Amino acid sequence: MWRKKLSVLAVASAVTLSLTACGGDDSGGEDASTEITGKGPITFVTGKDTSGFVQGVLDKWNADHPDEQVRLIELPESADAQRSQMIANAQTESDEYDVLNLDVVWTAEFAANRYVIPLPEDEFPLDQMLEPVVETAKYLDKVYSIPVQSDGGLLYYRTDLLKAAGVSEPPKTWDEMKEICEKVQATPEGKNVACYAGQFEKYEGLTVNAAEAINSAGGVITDESGKPNVNTEEAAAGLDFLVQSFEDGTIPKEGITYMEEQGRRAFQEGRLLFHRQWPYQYALANGEGSKVVDKFAVAPLPGLDGPGVSSLGGHNLGISTYSKNKETALEFIKFYSNLENNRDYVVTASQAPVYTELYEDEELNKQLPFLSILGDSIANAQPRPKVVNYGDATIAIQDAAYAALTGDMSTEEALEQLQGDLEEITADQQG
Ligand code: GLC
């Protein structure tokens, strides 16, 4: 019943979205709302700043721009809640939001619905940025946002506990990870530590973790041409890793409620041996209040038969169609996304840079031991499905994965349902 409802909803909104996308002026011509004019105060709208870095950058800008002050608007931690608030704001055509910090997976949806405007790409050093990251900022070959932060999954692990158990290397496969957990849990130091967690609450983080498990077993959610192909043995082997891990206690029960921050707290409090997490945790877990300072390192994500595959994460800045001060917004994006700020972002908050040269910088690599592993994670990462109605696609993935992880459906049933839902959701996008 629920499945039927979801599909109907998905189709209904797919139709609405495609109509919106095709309506209006499709000649590529400019109308008043896409003109980059207007100077004055602006807002910077972003998900909760868990890194504590953003306000400092805004203060720097504000010190030099007395008549074009930027004010921070922080939205909730969950990517889905951020997306809904930004869309609700655009649908009321409100000018309260100027610069939007967009998750890389929203570009198609925000561009097709004209919630954000096309940007003059020749005014930005995009050729100095990682190519797959720049791709996330484009829709139908036009640039709609400017990369400021990339993201790749890492396996955080407790070096002290591995050492105490006589283990010298982090795991490359899921089986190795489970074996190491058993060894560590058999030691006095490790007996109360849970084995593994990631992000499994029903939100965007679950889409990321389910996609990574599927990709890390050789499966895909959508193929290179964008067609859903998730009802396969490979995808089942991937999702099964998570299902089995909940069943056998590799992932603690409460892991089903974890978003990034709950997992980070568990890791920092010393309650987790292995944690799939983004790079931002590195600085915080080595900071004030953490019980694991200097007691952890990162490794590539493990997979079924060898190293796993991360989902490509990150954020790009766009300008709301309804902003009154687009000229200021554009200048602010140039400032926020510049090389210097991007370097500070990784040094102070361990956020993944978007400039290629920062990954090659010897000085930085000495200072930041995670940087080269992070660079590889991003270089090998898979994008999530690039669809206009991304909101529907991600809900379908979350529904299926959550049903499998909580035992409401078998892995096979969940993947069959997901394949059907994604076929309906992407039907109007073929051609
Ligand atoms: C991080 C990633 C983003 C992803 C989100 C999921 O913020 O940068 O791409 O969607 O986590 O929780």
What is the reported pLDDT for 9?
36
Ligand 1: centre distance to CA 1 (Å) = 30
Pick the residue whose CA is nearest to atom 4 on ligand 1: 313
Residues whose CB is less than 8 angstroms from the CB of residue 400 and which lie 6 or more positions away in sequence, other chains included: 210, 409, 414, 415, 417, 418, 421
Q: Which of 78, 148, 204 to mutate to test the pocket of ligand 1 (most atoms within 8 A of CB)?
A: 204
CA of 105 to the centre of ligand 1 (A): 9
Tell me, what's the pLDDT at 1? 34
d(CA 117, CA 321): 6
Question: How far is the C-alpha of 310 from the C-alpha of 278, rounded, in Å?
Answer: 10
Q: Which atom of ligand 1 has the smallest separation from the CA of 311?
A: 9
* Closest approach atom of ligand 1 to CA 78: 12
Q: Which of 133, 261, 278, 384 is the best mutation target for the ligand 1 pocket, counting ligand atoms within 8 Å of the beta carbon and taking the most?
A: 278
Please give the number of the atom of ligand 1 that sits closest to the Cα of 203. 12
Backbone angles phi and psi of 40, in degrees to 5: 155, -170
If one counts every other C-beta atom within 10 angstroms of the C-beta of residue 188, the result is 7
**Cβ-contact 396, 10 below 8 angstroms:** yes
What pLDDT does 32 receive? 55
In the prediction, which pLDDT does 18 show? Answer: 36
Query: Which residue in the block uniquely carries the two structure tokens 């930041």?
Result: 368
pLDDT at 8: 35
Rg (CA), the chain: 22
Q: How far is 154 from 309, CA to CA, in rounded Å?
A: 10
pLDDT given at position 21: 40
| Nearest alpha-carbon partner for 350 in 281, 251, 430 | 281
DSSP helix/strand/coil, 317: strand
Q: What b-and-e string marks burial along 80-103, b requiring 16 or more CB atoms within 10 Å of the CB?
A: bebbebbbebbeeeeeebbbbbbb
Q: What's the confidence (pLDDT) of residue 31?
A: 58
Low-confidence ranges of the chain (pLDDT < 50): 1-30, 430-431
The ligand 1 site (C-beta within 6 Å) comprises: 79, 103-105, 151, 199, 204-205, 208, 260, 278, 313-315
Rounded Cα gap, residues 43 and 41, in angstroms: 7
State how far the Cα of 62 lies from the Cα of 44, in Å rounded to an integer: 12
Atom of ligand 1 nearest to the CA of 103: 9
Distance 83 CA to ligand 1 centre (A): 11
- Is the CB of residue 334 less than 8 Å from the CB of residue 268? no
Please name the residue ranges forming H helices in 233-299. Answer: 233-247, 260-268, 280-285
In the prediction, which pLDDT does 33 show?
Answer: 84
Residue 275's identity, in one-letter code, is: H
Q: List 99's β-bridge partners, or say none.
A: 44, 319
Separation of CA 105 from chain center? 8
Instruction: Please identify, by atom number, the ligand 1 atom nearest to the C-alpha of residue 151.
Output: 8
Distance 26 CA to ligand 1 centre (A): 31
Count of beta carbons in the 10 Å neighbourhood of residue 30: 12
DSSP string, 50-88: TTS-HHHHHHHHHHH-TTS-EEEEEE-SSHHHHHHHHHH
Q: In angstroms, how far apart are the furthest CA atoms of the chain?
A: 69
